[in-house]
A = this chain, B = another copy of it.
Amino acid sequence: MADPTCVFCRIIAGEVPAHFVIDQGDVLAFLDARPLFPGHTLVVPREHVVTLPELAPERVEPVFATVRRVAAAVVAGLDADGSFVALNNVVSQSVPHLHVHVVPRRRKDGLRGFFWPRTRYADEAEAEAVAARIREALDPADG
């Protein structure tokens, strides 16, 4: 179901221009207009869904099969060395329509390693308590 207020739904409907990498099917891909590097592509399900947890289980495979395919293509097509694949759910999510960033990367491209300051757990007990909270919140695998 398209949301007429959603810019990605409007791109998919052809109402807003974009440079498409994949322009048919249930999962589309087009260039981010403000790329991190040229070739920065967004993989987007046609259906308006906001976050990955809200994506229907049967849609996971088509979305990420396309991500895999585009991740190979940005390297092969742009002579890149690798790629960065990322998605934001809710926080830092600029457009509330699920989109997976696929960004070509090159060695010495000026972006260093994993790019955010990292912390440490105070001790193993703290780490285990955090892991337990996540485990207890897992939906059943076959849910």
Residues in chain A within 8 A of chain B (CB atoms):
19-22, 25, 30-31, 33-39, 41, 51-53, 55, 57, 60-61, 63-65, 67-78, 81-94, 101, 105-107, 109, 111-121, 124, 126-128, 130-131, 133-139, 141
Contacts and interface: CB of A to CB of B under 8 A. Distances in A.
Number of copies: 2
Q: Interface on chain A toward B: helix, strand, loop, or mixed SS? A: mixed
Nearest to A59: B68
11 contacts: A20-B135, A36-B114, A51-B71, A51-B82, A52-B71, A57-B68, A69-B139, A77-B134, A82-B90, A82-B93, A92-B114
Contact of A131 (B21, B65, B92): B21
A92 B104 CA distance: 12
A91 B73 contact: no
B57 A65 contact: yes
Contacts of A118: 34-36
